[in-house]
Structure 1
Amino acid sequence: MSELTSTPQEPQQDFLSRSLFATLNLDLEKGLYILLIILALITRFYALGDRVVSHDESLHTQFSYQFYNGDGYVHQALMHGPFLFHATAASYWLFGDNDFTSRIPVALLGVILVALPYLLRDWLGRKGALFTSFIFLISPYLLYYSRYIRHDIYVSTWALMVFIATIYYLRQTKDKYLWWFAAGNALMFATKEVSFIYVAIFGSFLVLRLLPQILVAPWLQKSREKLLIPLVVVAIGLVIAGGSFLINRSAEEAVSQATATATSEGFAVDPNVAASSEAASETSIWGWLIVLGIVVSGTGLLYTANAMRPHIDQYPEFNLIVLFTVLILPMVAPFLVSLVGCNPNEYTMSTCMLAGQETMTPLQIFFARLTQDTCRQAFFSSGLVHSGSFLIAMLAISVIVGYWWNRRRFFIAAAIFHTIFAVLYTSVFTNLGGWASGMIGSLGYWL
């Protein structure tokens, strides 16, 4: 009879009983990252408050201080997005108001930027990611703007966040990366209008990555008949938009020449004034045709994608392209407003006086003005009506496309994006008009 013996197992230590090195599972690679982060902290924070503030910094600190001091903050596109002012005001609240504390948020993000390549090891390789962090550490550009109160480091960090979320979703297709993608875009657009360029870059990459996969897909041959009509619609829209654009450019040159002539030959009764007005009206007509062409092409693309379903749903690039589109589409409204010859920065509402309106209720005044030709023309010629109409239309299209794509994903991503956007642009709901100025004014001002 044999005696069975067993070695007693060592009791497992809980989290607090383990040493720090055992918990972190440190190796050479992680040790190098810690070293880079320490060097980043030193180079970003050493003597951070010694340099006198520059002109740009003085504006940013002034409005941040007013916000911190309880005087509120109103978004102005001239000084880009509101995130910087919220972050700087928060730093004042936490650490006091001085030159050093005003630069803490940018310095902190400068350190985070050095650490972020750690998340890219699967794509860059371990050595490549370490080298990228090292380059970020010693980059004169990144070092300078990590010690300078401007939007550059903020928007660079959010753009890298969007990029990381994109490549993680392309590989793993987990919804949580779509939420990070939406949050990164919201922070990016709440920081600086250069975000539109980042979207163009990332979007082009996704389109160029998606198209070759579709062209070699075996299911494409079976879907040719269904794709024919939608693609023809896309082509018609492109012809309308492209042709109208070329003609519109000629009309704009005519307006410029007529205006220049009218300015240099200021007659008491100048015939060039009428010519200039007619030319401006012509550019508006062609601008509307450009918008029509864009709408037709967009409709054709939607029908093309619908004809490819459910096959196209298996491509993560498609999901990211659609999400980019539905999140950013409302903010493209100012571009369309400018195309039709209106000013996206004009937020006035034209009204007219009615005889006896002092005794009318607001509802009676509304319907009376609606039925009066002069009042109706004044209303529809208002800048606020132009911009608001396009914004509402773009929001509606965004919801329709998002619902068609994937209503669950769309509503979660849209809630994340618009919550962050609304909180920042309305200065935590103390300036409700900030939402509209963010949606329209951000791009409209720089057009």
Structure 2
Amino acid sequence: MTSRTAAAPLPARQSPLDRALSLRIAVNWELALYIAIFGVAFALRFWDLGSRALHHDESIHAQWSWDLLRGHYRHSPVFHGPLYYHVQALVFLIAGASDYTARVSAAIFGTALVALPLLLRRRFGTLGTMAAMSFIALSPTLVYFSRFFREDIYMALFTMLMVCAMWRYFDEGGTKWLVLLAVSFTCSVLVKEGAFISGAVFLVWLDIHLASELARSTLSRREEQVRATRLARQRELLLKAGVSDESELAKQLAAQPGIADFRMNTPGGRFVLTMAYAPFAWIVAALWPFLTTIRRNMDWPEKLPRSGDLLILLGTFTLPLLTPVSRHYLLEPLGLIETDRLSWELKLQGHIATRNLFALLGLFSVTTSIAAFAGLQWRPRLWGTLFLVCGALYLTLMTSFWTNSNGLVSGPWGSLDYWITQQDIGRGDQPGFYYFMLMPAYEFLTVALVIGGFWWATVKGDAFSRFLAFWLVGIWMALSIAAERMPWNNVHIALPAALLAAWIVARAFRAWTARPAFSQTRYALLSVAATAAGAMAIIAFLPGGAAMGAVRVLVAAVAVALIAYTARPWGRTAIPAIVVAAAIAAMAFFSVRTMISVTYQRGDVPKDMLVYTQSSPDIPKIAQDIDKLAAATGMGYELPIAVDSSDAYSMPWFWYLRDYKHVAYYDFGTSVPDGVKTGQFAVMLVNASNASKVNDVLASVGESKFGSPQKYPHRWWFDEGYGNAMSPGNNVACRYKPDHCGDVWDIQTWKSLADGIVHKGWLSTWALFLRDHDPDEILGVTGDERCNSCGSVDAWAYFPANFDRATGKISARPFEAARPTVDSAGRPMFGTVGPLAGQFFAPVDVETDPEGNLYVIDSSTKRLQKFDKDGNFLASADVRVVAGDLNEQSQPWGLAIAPNGNVVVADTFGWRVRVFDKDLKPTNVTFGTPPDTSKAPGPYDLFGPRDAIVDATGNIWVTDTGNSRIVIYTAAGEYVREIGTKGTGAGEFQEPVGLSQAKDGTIFVADMYNKRVVLLNANGEYQSSFEVEGWGGQEVIDKPYLEPLDDGRIAVSLPSVNQVKIFDRSGKLTGTIAPQNDPLSNPYGLAETTDGKLWVSEGGSSRLRLFDIP
């Protein structure tokens, strides 16, 4: 009997989840550091993501993503896409819509970007990979735009994936990396048309690299052939000479010059031949299978080099999408088609003419056939599959999953066609040196490392470092030449800068031969880092002055000496590593500080160039108040709201009000909707430029349902004074236009730069900005306390008078007329914001009569109001010829009181002067006509009459601002004479604005652009002048006034710096009114009281306040 052994049972097959859970990963210090860096990057990108107001562009992208989710999205090249709209729509589907979730997809892509250097670890090494991840994780530019819903961070990720695919293919070959390259490129062009710029840089480099490989092959084989020929010839000669012993023969052959030491494959030789091959290398790659004879004659390899593979794949995928270039640079210039016939913007939206469709099909057939010819002869199966799959992906997203057939045109043709046409517009209107300013301001750490190691990376580096250098320089130059220069494009420069800086860090430490173990150098390296960091902190935070400059030099010298002494035992090869460590330590704190300040401390307050034009933080707060009102009234999302859509003010409101069902978007600049008068709307959000029209309508009702509206900056921006800084003296801002200054290729730019550094203190200004990134501290101007230096376009938010925005409750309180009160410091004041009696929107000039009554003109409401000496309302009048006529041009700025009590009003942009009696009834005196700039001004051609006085004889003196003169008329409006011409000399004016007369007859003129007060005698003859620092601004609202004081001095207002200054008649400053606890806001008119105090009209806060005169 035999026994049978039972078969061992087969192990149970594990599920994928079981296999995943059973994985064991060995954690070492390197992996731990990678995880730590990635964790920091994740936290920086996701923490407090929704606190910043959505930027104008962000609101568009968020709304379009939201619309895509609801089936309303259609691709438009104007706003790029469509890939990131689909990604963000998925986020909305999963997590709902909010300011936080609107930025989640950007944060995901920005975080993923940090991990991608791991794919290039073979090239970077361990230290370089950590440096690359760290630089990307902490880059001020990359962190900020990883928390910003625009397309650039998505494109950066796909661009980086393309780089990884290229170099992994160089290193190991493999079809998977070609697949990754094709998909990454497709996704990149599905994000932003700027992908063509990066693609062009890569294609040029691949072409040059292929040329260099072919040149190396030619020279290497020719070198071998020449050596072999010379060796054979010399061997034959030696044999003939009787040398037959092989060892002796070999010895003498080795000693022969011009054989073993013969070189053709030298750096110089390769460079020359590479430049000869480069113009044709791409053609060689495309025709490689057909060039057998040429390849043999040129000693090229049988197989196309890997750079050729990449060149063919990337080139053939790009070529069909470049088809629109033919319209702009071939078809239209040669007259083959009519101008704009194939313009996407003008002719190819909606219904497309049949002949245009056939033209597009024909053009794409040509380019696609050329691409297919090159691709299919290269690797037919791979190329054909990738082209079909990527093409299907591209068209599927462009057509919104085949629901929008027009996407077949707006994508392949419209995307590039539209953005080529935009090159003549120059969005952003920035100078050619823009990125040369932006990169050092924010990426100074990596820029410093790149500058320090650039020669090393290019001359002494390898192909990878040269590629990074070429990418950085190429994209930097391309973006500087392109017309649209915007801060978000800095992403595409900051990324290669971070990678090249990381390579330099790794190379510096690799150069340290015989480096001791880390345990032996760690304390010394920490000492170096601490010394460098401490020295930089001292240098940065020391106060200014020549003496402190010497101290800075001394601190720097001591730090260098200490670092040199510490590094001395390690030898010369340690110098690069020590320098790199010291540089990183010195700048790391300031780089991280910059990143934190721009991203978290003031992300929607544009004190940084990186922020650019930004929605103000008031917008989300107003949106929250609207939600409170909707809840308090019980109307919920049925609340009726009117939004002024002029000048793109509807953005970002259409995002913040997306759930409300009755939001009406009107262009208030064209006409005020009837619902304003009938009280249809519960909330109105009105462009400040149209507020006067709304106020007219509300004033005509007589009793407003709205309380005092809130003025807020709708969009605001970093002060772009640098545009004028490079001006050669003609006061023309340096912009992108060819006839303007600021071009990096213009010698005048560099002369201006040198002048600024040597004579204008630009280095100290930039040092302060680099340290603190706070222009308010540098410029010293005042305005909105959150950003004193910011420019803005403003709006007004109207809420019901019975709604308490602080509590969110409805009350039954009736409207009460404005009454005099006091400010936070107890100073008398009167006026609130609004269109009714005792209220103002933009009070400018103020005058007093002998009884002490106050007269105030409001440039926004066009109303002249009269108050008693305490600020109690007495009367008002509309200064327009036809009261309440919204179509009548009018914007009064100046007042004067005649000896008989009449009130003279200078209606600046009504181009006239009107006279009212003391009860504000219009008289029959009105004079002035709109200017005709085609001829010399006549007696009544008033180009912006800004202010007026009435002399002792009753004559009316008017500053005719635009014509740079003062015109005198009788009390009846008859022309008498004029004073002054345009110029800078005695008796000449440039932008005369404020006008006032002292009791002794002296007349004072605010000569704005000449930055001076001009003194005339009672006959108008020039007496003297003195300079006023703070005048000279170009803004239309920066117009100063004057008030002669009873003690003989003169008070002048400085609206742009929110101050009132007191001078004696020689120009000596004797006092300043600039309260800190409740600052002035655009002070204009001034009026002295009988008891020696000064009323100040504040246009920025719609009030008048009474100050003691210092």
Q: TM-score normalized by structure 2? A: 0.28
Secondary structure (helix, strand or coil) at the match of 2:39 reads helix
Query: Alignment identity in percent?
Result: 28
Question: Within 1, Cα distance between the matches of 2:201 and 2:140?
Answer: 24
User: Offset of 1:216 from its aligned partner?
Assistant: 2.9
Distance 1:387 1:127, change over 3 A: same
Residue 290 (structure 2) pairs with residue 306 (structure 1): yes
Secondary structure of 1:192 counterpart: coil
| Residue in structure 2 matching 1:397, options 337, 345, 370 | 370
1:417 aligns with 2:417: no
Looking at both structures, which has the greater relative contact order when contacts are Cα pairs under 8 Å and sequence separation is at least 6? 1
Match of 2:328 in 1: 338
| 1:205 alignment counterpart | 205
**Contact 1:425/1:435 (<8 A) preserved:** yes
- 2:169 alignment counterpart: 169
Name the structure 1 match of 2:196. Answer: 196
Where is the strand percentage greater, Structure 1 or Structure 2?
A: 2
Partner of 1:129: 129
Alignment of 1:15-34 (within 5 A): 23-34=24-35
In structure 2, the partner of 1:92 is 92
| Equivalent residue letter for 1:419 | A
1:116: which partner in 2?
A: 116
**1:183·1:420 contact (CA, 8 Å) conserved in 2?**
no
Is this contact kept in 1: 2:286–2:312, CA < 8 A?
no
Distance 1:31 1:21, change over 3 A: farther
Structure 1: 5+ residue runs without aligned partners? 1-10, 222-234, 239-295, 350-378
Aligned to 1:49: 50
Alpha-carbon distance change, 304 to 121 in structure 1, aligned in 2, over 3 angstroms:
closer
Q: How does 1:361-400 map to 2 (within 5 A)?
A: 382-400=355-373
Return 330-339 or 385-394, whichever deviates more.
Answer: 385-394
Provide the rounded CA distance (Å) in 2 between the counterparts of 1:115 and 1:302: 34
- The CA distance in 2 between the partners of 1:114 and 1:443, in whole Å, is 30
Give 1:259-298 correspondences, 5 Å limit: none
1:317 aligns with 2:317: no
Alignment partners' CA distance in 1, 2:204 and 2:282: 16
Equivalent residue of 2:71, what SS? coil
Contact kept? 2:287, 2:374, Cα under 8 Å: no
Conserved 8 A contact 2:289-2:377: no
Structure 2 match to 1:37: 38
1:70 aligns with 2:71: yes
Residues 185, 417 of structure 1: 8 Å contact kept: no
Equivalent residue of 2:51, what SS?
coil
Moved more, 436-445 or 414-423: 414-423
Structure 2 vs 1, CA of residues 434 and 18 (structure 1 numbering), >3 Å: closer, same or farther?
A: closer
- How well do the aligned residues superpose, as a CA RMSD in angstroms? 3.1
Q: Which amino acid aligns with 2:32?
A: G
Q: Which amino acid in the other structure matches residue 306 of structure 1?
A: F
Determine the C-alpha separation between the residues in 2 that align with 1:26 and 1:442: 47
User: More displaced, 422-431 or 49-58?
Assistant: 422-431
CA deviation digits over 1:406-437, x for unaligned, max 9?
A: 10121122133212212211112211321332
Change (3 A) 1:24 1:300: closer
Q: What is the identity, as a one-letter code, of the residue corresponding to 1:328?
A: T
1:160 is displaced (CA, Å) by 0.2
Worse-superposed segment, 145-154 or 79-88:
79-88
Q: CA deviation at 1:172?
A: 0.9
Post-superposition Cα deviations, 1:167-189, rounded to whole Å, max 9, x if no partner, equal 00111110111000111001001
Q: Secondary structure at 1:81's aligned position in 2?
A: coil
Change in 2 beyond 3 A, CA 1:408/1:311: farther
Residues 1:74 and 1:28: Cα distance change in structure 2 (over 3 Å): same
Q: Which residue of structure 2 aligns with residue 284 of structure 1? A: none
Structure 1 SS opposite 2:323: helix
Query: Which residue number in structure 2 is paired with residue 427 of structure 1?
Result: 400
Three-state SS of the structure 1 residue aligned to 2:217 is: coil
TM-aligned CA deviation for residue 384 of structure 1: 3.6
3-state SS, counterpart of residue 99 of structure 1: coil
Aligned to 2:138: 138
Kindly provide the CA deviation profile for residues 385-416 of structure 1, in whole angstroms up to 9, marking residues without a partner as x: 43332112111222222111110121122133
User: In the TM superposition, what is the alpha-carbon distance from 1:200 to its structure 2 partner?
Assistant: 1.3
| CA displacement at 1:23 relative to structure 2 | 1.0
For residues 19 and 442 of structure 1, what CA distance do their matches in structure 2 show?
Answer: 43
Query: Which has a greater percent of helix?
Result: 1
What SS does the corresponding residue of 1:24 show, helix, strand or coil? coil
**Residues in 2 aligned to 1:327 and 1:17: alpha-carbon distance in whole angstroms:** 41
50 and 389 in structure 1: CA distance in 2 versus 1, 3 angstrom threshold: same
Say if 1:186 and 1:421, in contact at 8 Å, map to a contact too.
Answer: yes
* Residue pair 1:182, 1:416 contacting (<8 A) in 2 also: no
- Residue 220 to residue 390, structure 1, CA distance change in 2 (3 Å): farther
Alpha carbons of 1:397 and 1:16: their partners in 2 closer, same or farther (altered >3 Å)? Answer: closer
Q: Kindly indicate whether the alpha-carbon contact (under 8 Å) linking 2:158 and 2:184 is maintained by their aligned counterparts in 1.
A: yes
**Closer, same or farther: CA 145–297 of 1 in aligned 2, 3 Å:** closer
AA partner of residue 305 (structure 2): Y
Q: Which of these residues, 322, 326, 333, is aligned with residue 316 of structure 2?
A: 326
Q: Following TM superposition, by how much is the alpha carbon of 1:203 offset from its aligned partner in structure 2, in angstroms?
A: 1.3
Instruction: Check conservation: 2:207, 2:282, Cα contact below 8 A.
Output: no
- The 1:333–1:297 alpha-carbon spacing in structure 2 relative to 1, beyond 3 Å, is farther
Corresponding letter in the other structure for 1:422: L
Q: Which amino acid aligns with 2:414?
A: G
Deviation of 1:302 after TM superposition, in Å, equals 4.4
Judge conservation of contact 1:337–1:390 (CA < 8 Å) in 2: no
